[in-house]
């Protein structure tokens, strides 16, 4: 599902507690694609928070891990995130 909404990513391992604001481009039952201006290493554990904007799209709060990080022509990065558990 294309969402194009703000997302908060909290690094849950080596840089624990560091928060990044990014844009969630799409969301599925098992993962999401996020655009950010920072590289995040594959395997990094995250906590993801997306605020619900309507009854059809409730809030998401989940533990996740980075499975892909690709630099785009714009200079930003597209992060592939696998949802491990909804909180």
Q: What is the CATH class of 2-86?
A: mainly beta
pTM: 0.84
> What is the number of other CB atoms lying within 10 angstroms of the CB of residue 51?
13
Q: List the one residue out of 47, 56, 1 whose CA is nearest residue 25.
A: 1
Nearest to 13 by CA among 54, 53, 42: 42
Is the confidence at residue 3, as pLDDT, over 80?
no
pLDDT of the residue at 12: 81
Residue 59 has pLDDT above 70, yes or no: yes
How much is the average pLDDT of 57-83?
A: 91
* Residue ranges per structural domain of the chain: 2-86
Q: CA 57, CA 1: separation in Å to the nearest integer?
A: 10
The stretch 4-27 carries a mean pLDDT of: 84
Rg for the chain, CA atoms, rounded? 12
């Amino acid at each position: 599902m294309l969402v194009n909404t703000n997302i908060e990513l909290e690094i849950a391992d080596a840089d624990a507690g560091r928060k990044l604001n990014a844009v969630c481009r799409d969301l599925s039952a098992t993962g999401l694609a996020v655009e950010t201006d920072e590289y995040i290493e594959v395997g990094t554990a995250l906590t993801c928070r997306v605020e619900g904007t309507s009854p059809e799209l409730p809030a998401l709060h989940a533990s996740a891990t980075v499975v892909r990080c690709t630099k785009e022509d714009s200079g930003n990065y597209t992060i592939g995130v696998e949802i491990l558990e909804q909180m």
